[in-house]
Amino acid sequence: MENYEYVESGIILNIKEKSTLDSFPFKAKDFAVHGKAFSFLTNFYDDFKDFPSKKVLEENFPDLDLQVPSTDFGYLTQEFRKQVIFRKVVESFQRNKDKLKTDPKMALSKIMDGLEDINVVYDEDVTYYDSKEQIDRFENYKEKIRQRKLGDGLMGIPTPFRTINMTGVGWQPADLISMFARPTVGKTWMCIQVAATAIMKGYKTLFISSEMPTTAINLRMDVVIAKMKGYEFSHKALRNGDSINEDQYKEFLDGLDEKNLLVCDHIEGESTISIGSIQALIRKHNPEFVVVDGIYLVSSGDGRKAMWEQNHSLFYGMKNICLATNKPIFVSTQATREAADVFTPPRVDQVAFGDALIRASDIALAMAKVEESDAKRMIQYQKYRDGVLSSDTSFLKWDVDKGHIEEINEFKTEGIEF
């Protein structure tokens, strides 16, 4: 990263109005070369309500590059921002280079925390607290009251979990919800249930699978939605071509609202689904809710980076999509081999490719089997932003062949009997 002299001199020499100074979001400490000159300029304005001339600046700071022409101040600000971020990132690594030798895991965690702090501090997407362009918060509050008076009294998109729904708050706009478990526990089935619950309440849902083809997803969705509609089909029978009530199946299929669910298992022209293609799909189809099954197989778009760095970019990129589109997104991922016991919910430090996904999430769910009963599953709420839940654990009836996944309110923990 070069041209500090040119960019910093250009910033100082082109600040000639108060509005320009007010629009510049940086301080003297952010300058690599000419911080004292910037302090002189701001202090001069505070004292005289005017800006120093080029001659005055030249006399006090002969090292300024006076050959910089008057140019677009927005361009100079963008270049300055890049330089500041570059230096801060380098500093984050430098501060932890010694610890990398003795405790690389701790050093990596500190480096990643430092990088995220840089991202937050220098994020351009900020607005004034009292901005007239923002949604009227009082009207937004009234809309929430209206929502809670309708139907089941739930704000936001309904979830399959009574423990969450009982708070009156479902999946909220811009939420990133993550679920993680070991293989064979049932992540895809849970994603299907999450999507189907939203679909049945009329929310247009985009379901993206990085692991299964659309045909397989559709069959699973059939038995889950059918169960919610009062039908009952066997997933095994549909998959294997065994005997079912064909008239009822056709009646069920004829009654589906195909415009309420979009299913995607690949992007045309791409070998893998990428974070950019997911954002493009959301812009194109404008769903109200998005479910991504197997986010760990989604590409961050830069295979040259280390795997942890790719996934850090991927997970925070997904959160940025939530914020940019104001839509809730539910994603599933795997736990590491360290979480070998499928009957114990994995910890946040046992999420594949690091805990960046959990740190980026508003809600994090860990999923496990229930010992001695494959007809049940356990959900542990490891992170919940919107208040206090009545319990940190839910138990589910788990008959996926018939599409029956439902939280069970009453249970005995001793012996895990329901």
Write down the H helix ranges in 27-123.
35-48, 54-60, 73-95, 97-102, 104-121
Looking at residue 311, its pLDDT comes to 72
Q: What is the pLDDT of residue 418?
A: 39
Angle at 51 between CA 45 and CA 54, to 5 degrees: 145
Handedness of CA 292, 105, 369, 382 (dihedral sign): negative
User: Where would I find the beta strands (DSSP E) of 260-359?
Assistant: 261-264, 289-293, 329-334
Spatial CA neighbour of 28 closest among 18, 36, 20, 17 = 36
Q: List C-alpha distances in Å: 195 to 166, 188, 200, 281, 328.
A: 19, 11, 9, 17, 12
Give the residue among 278, 377, 295, 284 at the shortest CA–CA distance from 330.
295
Window from 140-144, 153-157, 253-257, 395-399 with minimum mean pLDDT: 140-144
CA angle 288–292–298, rounded 5-degree value: 130
Angle between helix 104-121 and helix 73-95 axes, rounded to 10 deg? 160
Nearest in space to 364 (alpha carbons), one of 342, 341, 347: 347
Quick one: pLDDT at residue 306?
65
- 226 pLDDT more than 60: yes
pLDDT at 333: 93
Report percent pLDDT > 90 for the chain.
Answer: 45
Average pLDDT over residues 323-347: 91
- Asked if residue 414 has pLDDT above 50, the reply is no
Question: Does residue 138 register a pLDDT over 90?
Answer: no
How far apart, in Å, are the Cα atoms of 246 and each of 219, 237, 251, 273?
A: 15, 11, 8, 35
According to DSSP, residue 175 is labeled -
- Separation in Å, CA 119 to CA 85, 241, 299, 320: 8, 52, 21, 11
Question: Is pLDDT at 415 greater than 50 in this prediction?
Answer: no
Mean per-residue pLDDT for 260-285? Answer: 78
Residues 269-292, mean pLDDT to the nearest whole number: 84
Collect contacts of 68-75 with beta carbons under 8 A, ≥24 apart: 68/6, 68/9, 68/10, 68/13, 70/13, 70/14, 71/10, 71/14, 73/11, 73/14, 73/15, 73/20, 73/23
Question: Are 270 and 218 contacting, i.e. CB atoms less than 8 angstroms apart?
Answer: no
pLDDT for 235 equals 96
The pLDDT value recorded for residue 204 is: 93
DSSP string computed for 7-37: HHHHHHHH--SHHHHHH----GGG-SS-HHH
Residue 331 pLDDT > 50, yes or no? yes
Candidate ranges 77-91, 226-240, 264-278, 343-357; pick with highest mean pLDDT: 226-240
Q: How far is it, in rounded angstroms, from Cα 87 to Cα 7?
A: 15
